[in-house]
Structure 1
Amino acid sequence: MSQRSSKIIKTVAMVAAATMAAVLPANATATAGEPLTHVRIDAHFDLSAGQMPENIALSRDGSALVTFAASRQVAEVAPGGATRILATLPPPADGGVRTPVLGFPLATGVVRAPGGAVYVLYATGTADLTGLWRLAPGKSPQRVAALPAEGLPNGLALDRRSRQLYITDSVLGTVWTVPTSGGTPTAWSTAPELASTGFLGANGAKVHGGALWVTNLDKGTLLRIPIRSGNRAGVPQVKASGMVGIDDFTFTGRGDEALAALNAPNKVVRIQPDGTTSTVLDSEDGLQNPTSVALRGKDVYVLSAAYTTATDPNLLRARLSGHR
């Protein structure tokens, strides 16, 4: 393992251990009804190269776009696990030591927009690089929206109808919005429910059912924020709680039911519309600090970054049973 990757792992582990309880949520039950089947590891990544997968966006051909946090890269993972680096974001001049909370530069949220453009978030602690970047075929990565250097942009969601992007800031407790064309972001919500309690607050984000849904890693909550006319934010509603360490998530297609990654607890949980949760995957299935969950049809994709386990960052796949 490289000295840089080792330092990053130690930094994340120390901060996480000091600020986050890596425990099973109080209202979570054991795996119930085997909602996931055919569980297997589809790809193993190179920890020594900083390949700690943070976020995922699926393509129609079964491949996946993945951000590697520590190596500042966006990669394409083909069915079967072959990995191809698409872009590497430029390093900050100071090495990223001023990146809030973590102290290293990292690529975070990623989405693919209609037309093929890829958007990725980058946190560096510097004003010249922190923000929203766009990747277009045959072109170098381009920053299209600057974000505060003192923040940590993390989750990224696209409203395909309005072509608005929503960006969570885990340090500033803010959701920003900006059109896919880029420009100056607007602070869409600064509700107290988004704030951290010392580590990372607002995290994963998805547009679903006329609202932006956001997780809060420190508080262990899943929030629903209505999208009002004129792209105004409504009042956040806590839809589920007791999930300290919750990272990114996806909806299953069964109403408001969701699957969510719990990073330090090393679990994926199913969240029912009434807020109850059950564990559907854990370390015995191969999880190593899961960061992101995605779904296409019946196929479930789960990334593990190995931030604190320092073992086998990977892409796990499974089938969602009973899914129509």
Structure 2
Amino acid sequence: MPRVPRTAGITTAALALALLATAPAMGDEPVVSDPCVVAHFDLAGGESPENLALAPDGSADLTLSTARQVVNVTRTGRKRVLATLPAVANPHTPVVGKAVVLGIARAENGTLYVNYATGTSATGIWRIPAGGGRPRQIAQLPPGGFPNGLALDERRGVLYAADSVLGTVWRVPRSGGKPTAWATGAALQPRNAPPAARVGVNGLRLHRDAVWVSNTNAGTLLRIPVHGSGSAGAIETRATGLFAIDDFGFVERHRDTALAALIGGSEVTLVRPDGTHRVVLSRQDGLSNPTSVAVRGRTAYISSAAYFTQSAPNLLLARVHQRDRG
């Protein structure tokens, strides 16, 4: 989620500290430890790492929002630019006013898909060849929207995109074409915020036969079942009180346990299947307005965009493991 006014960020961060309650740790839940920043980015150059997708070799493909770039970053911090989205004349992007590249999804063959928000006809989903190359728009989304989180369902051959301004989850054929408003409703809408900070449905992940999304303004984690026909089921609220939640990732082997990035308070919280949650990483660990989380095996990858802090955008890795019962 790109930058909203600094005063709004400070105010909401204060509210978070006052209102966010966490539950005590449970003995059988994963523990997050040993955080380490492996890559730093240039804020002056627009290098705010917004979203990430993991490659088989353990590297991460990241979108750098206002730089309009997609980069690959190894576990040791080596960077390589994969693509740059084309500049747009006179962008009128909601929320930010600038052309920004946001969500990213990676296919098994290495093809990348990204959301590009511009306020023009260039707004939509763009495809990048495996290994990098020239991006190509495969689907237009409404210029007045803000396509944020993105996920690819390879089995069904469709992409899902979360529109933070229009409160809609779009569904688009993987090959491209006309989008369908797959899920809508009050639970996905932005709310209770000034215009420049109205961000509803945001992060999006596929997990256990459902599309899971976050609502930033509402502080909720939601589950939308995918029926056998491909249609959306009723929206279920799975967790609340997640102040300024952005993206999230599920912990493998722990069913519906997730790690969620709380952008306003510069925290990552562990969300349990029963909806309770506790903070496991904070700004003291190196977070600076985290926007995205992905987990593979025993490693969590967290990108910090530094939209509010205006300091130290980075990629951080941490260990995810079981609590020692001894």
Q: Compute the TM-score of the two structures, normalised by the length of structure 1.
A: 0.92
- Residue matched to 2:226: 227
- Residue matched to 2:256: 256
Distance change in 2, residues 1:81/1:286 (3 Å): same
Alignment partners' CA distance in 2, 1:176 and 1:114:
22
- Residue matched to 1:3: none
The alignment partner of 2:44 has SS state of helix
Q: For residue 237 of structure 1, what is the amino acid of its counterpart? A: E
Matched-pair contact (CA < 8 Å) for 1:30–1:279: no
Q: Is 2:185 aligned against 1:186? A: no
Shift of 1:13: 2.3
Shift of 1:62: 1.2
Alignment partners' CA distance in 1, 2:148 and 2:320:
27
Unaligned runs of 5+ in 2: none
| Alignment partner of 1:88 out of 84, 88, 111 | 84
Alignment partners' CA distance in 2, 1:12 and 1:108:
18
Q: For residue 78 of structure 2, what is the amino acid of its counterpart? A: A
- Residue matched to 1:44: 40
Stretch moving more, 217-226 or 24-33: 24-33
- Residue matched to 1:5: none
| Alignment partner of 2:165 out of 164, 167, 171 | 171
Q: Is 2:124 aligned against 1:131? A: yes
Shift of 1:92: 1.2
Shift of 1:311: 0.7
Q: For residue 100 of structure 2, what is the amino acid of its counterpart? A: L
The alignment partner of 1:193 has SS state of helix
Matched-pair contact (CA < 8 Å) for 1:22–1:264: no
Matched-pair contact (CA < 8 Å) for 2:162–2:201: yes
Alignment partners' CA distance in 2, 1:204 and 1:215:
5
Matched-pair contact (CA < 8 Å) for 1:31–1:281: no
Q: For residue 256 of structure 2, what is the amino acid of its counterpart? A: D
The alignment partner of 2:226 has SS state of strand
Matched-pair contact (CA < 8 Å) for 2:82–2:133: no
| Alignment partner of 2:149 out of 151, 155, 158 | 155
Alignment partners' CA distance in 2, 1:261 and 1:31:
18
Alignment partners' CA distance in 1, 2:260 and 2:293:
6
Moved over 3 A (4+): 14-22, 29-34
Q: For residue 87 of structure 2, what is the amino acid of its counterpart? A: P
Q: Is 2:287 aligned against 1:294? A: no
Shift of 1:270: 0.2
The alignment partner of 1:278 has SS state of strand
Distance change in 2, residues 1:133/1:15 (3 Å): farther
Alignment partners' CA distance in 1, 2:40 and 2:265:
21
Shift of 1:14: 4.6
| Corresponding pairs, count | 312
Alignment partners' CA distance in 1, 2:7 and 2:114:
27
- Residue matched to 1:206: 205
Matched-pair contact (CA < 8 Å) for 2:13–2:265: no
| Alignment partner of 1:13 out of 6, 13, 16 | 6
Shift of 1:27: 2.9
Shift of 1:146: 0.2
Unaligned runs of 5+ in 1: 1-7
The alignment partner of 1:228 has SS state of coil
Alignment partners' CA distance in 2, 1:15 and 1:73:
27
Alignment partners' CA distance in 1, 2:34 and 2:232:
40
- Residue matched to 2:102: 108
Name the Cα RMSD after superposition.
1.9
- Residue matched to 2:280: 280
Q: Compute the TM-score of the two structures, normalised by the length of structure 2.
A: 0.91
The alignment partner of 2:105 has SS state of strand
